[in-house]
């Protein structure tokens, strides 16, 4: 039996099935609530349960603390209604139109940047344009029902095509197919989206710090490239830290170096953790960011990587540097 969800302080309410989380239910009914990782790993969708009961679901302790729970808070991306609810969210956006079930696309470029990194460029088969915000992702669906979400790596102004940077997963059925000769330029697939709230929204005059590991550099590339193409760098201070295991994993290093060399607002630090011959910065991206910036109580931080990295960086920077949880924007792709 569906439950009724009322958004406190607004005229909006919607139904939620017992087996869907509140964020999904809102989206299905045409409302966009604050959200980022969609996996209980960042806390961006935290909301107050004013009345009613919820199943909190599976979440990371740093994203929803015991103190939060005692205060009646829950994560909208994991919590499921167990009765009619009234909740208070930071904001709500009424979606103008329902998202299509899928977009049919075809591959126009498939390039190996490294043995384990694929650059995949897609275009719509109907001749339509992509409409997304830098920092958002699409779920890629292949025949057989396989589906994975990937952050967009291209500028939001580049609407004719869309670019993904995909890492090969050992024994991964999905990436094994993408990397194989069985998937070629001209082959088609489906996309769902765009999704995600971890988009760039730092006002001018406020420092923005970007922390990425591995292919987590993709949404940061999209954000920075979009700002450059919009000629929107004036009065900004953008600091990018990209952590990888070896220097060979820095597959878009030249691009970021070029941006940093040409635009004084952009600062780029590649960090290598497992290469003795590396002459640059070593260690963890959050550690180096803390050394460079100290107090982070008045900065925005964008974290892009796996759940373990995001948990570690969040815990470290909130304690060490006073980073505020409502100034953290996360793009997590699992553990």
Residue range 295-320, pLDDT digits in tens: 999 999 999 988 788 888 988 999 99
Residue range 242-301, pLDDT digits in tens: 999 999 999 999 999 999 999 999 999 999 999 999 999 999 999 999 999 999 999 999
**Residue 224: inside a domain, yes or no?**
yes
On whether both 211 and 328 belong to a single domain, the answer is yes
Q: What is the pTM of this model?
A: 0.80
User: What are the respective helix, strand and coil percentages of the chain, to the nearest 5?
Assistant: 20, 35, 45
Residue range 84-123, pLDDT digits in tens: 999 999 888 887 655 556 899 999 999 999 999 999 999 9
**Residue 54: inside a domain, yes or no?**
yes
On whether both 145 and 48 belong to a single domain, the answer is no
Residue 333 pLDDT level (bands cut at 50, 70, 90): low
**Residue 42: inside a domain, yes or no?**
yes
On whether both 220 and 318 belong to a single domain, the answer is yes
How are beta strands 54-55 and 31-32 bridged, if at all?
unpaired
242 or 37: whose pLDDT is higher? 242
**Residue 83: inside a domain, yes or no?**
yes
pLDDT at residue 119, rounded to an integer: 97
Q: Kindly state the average pLDDT of the residues 36-54.
A: 84
Share of the chain above pLDDT 90, in %: 68
**Residue 22: inside a domain, yes or no?**
yes
**Residue from 120, 212, 134 nearest 166 by CA:** 120
On whether both 212 and 326 belong to a single domain, the answer is yes
Secondary structure (H, E, C), 17-76: CCCCCHHHHHHHCCEECCCCCCCCCCCCCEEEEEECCEECCCCCCCCCCHHHHHCCEEEC
On whether both 213 and 320 belong to a single domain, the answer is yes
The whole domain housing 310 covers 207-332
Number of domains in the chain: 3
Give the end of a domain, one of 51, 77, 94: 94
Give the end of a domain, one of 195, 229, 260: 195
pLDDT at residue 220, rounded to an integer: 97
**Residue 202: inside a domain, yes or no?**
no
Tokens standing for residue 4:
């009724």
**Residue from 238, 205, 207, 202 nearest 221 by CA:** 238
On whether both 292 and 240 belong to a single domain, the answer is yes
Alpha-carbon Rg for the chain in angstroms: 20
**Residue 200: inside a domain, yes or no?**
no
pLDDT at residue 335, rounded to an integer: 47
Q: What gap in Å lies between CA 311 and CA 216, rounded to an integer?
A: 15
CATH number at residue 321: 3.40.50.80
pLDDT at residue 238, rounded to an integer: 98
């Amino acid at each position: 039996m569906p439950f009724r969800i009322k958004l406190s302080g607004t005229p909006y309410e919607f139904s939620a099935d017992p087996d869907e989380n509140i964020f999904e239910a809102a989206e299905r009914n045409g409302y966009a609530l604050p959200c980022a990782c969609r996996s209980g790993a960042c806390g961006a969708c935290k909301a107050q349960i004013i009345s009613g009961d919820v199943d909190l679901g599976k979440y990371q302790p740093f994203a929803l603390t015991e103190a939060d729970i005692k205060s009646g808070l829950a994560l909208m991306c994991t919590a499921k209604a167990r009765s009619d609810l009234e909740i208070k969210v930071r904001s709500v956006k009424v979606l103008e139109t329902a998202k299509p079930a899928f977009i049919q696309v075809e591959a126009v470029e498939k390039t190996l940047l490294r043995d384990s990194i694929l650059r995949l460029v897609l275009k719509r088969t109907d001749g339509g344009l992509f409409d997304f915000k830098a920092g958002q992702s699409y779920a890629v669906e292949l025949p057989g029902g396989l589906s994975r979400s990937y952050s967009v790596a291209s500028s939001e102004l580049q609407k004719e095509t869309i670019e993904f940077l995909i890492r090969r997963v050992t024994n991964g059925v999905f990436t094994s197919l993408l990397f194989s000769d069985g998937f070629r330029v001209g082959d088609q697939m489906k996309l769902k989206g765009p999704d995600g709230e971890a988009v760039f929204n730092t006002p001018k005059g406020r420092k923005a710090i970007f922390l990425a590991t591995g292919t987590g550099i993709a949404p940061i590339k999209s954000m920075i490239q979009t700002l450059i193409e919009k000629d929107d760098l004036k009065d900004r201070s953008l600091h990018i830290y990209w952590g990888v295991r070896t220097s060979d994993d820095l597959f878009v290093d030249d691009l970021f170096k070029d941006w940093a060399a040409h635009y004084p607002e952009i600062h780029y630090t590649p960090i290598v953790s497992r290469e003795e011959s590396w002459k640059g910065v070593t260690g963890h991206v959050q550690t180096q960011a803390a050394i460079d910036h100290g107090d982070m109580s008045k900065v925005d931080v964008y974290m892009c990587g796996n759940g373990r990295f995001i948990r570690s960086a969040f815990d470290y920077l909130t304690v060490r540097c006073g980073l505020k949880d409502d100034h953290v924007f996360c793009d997590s792709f699992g553990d």
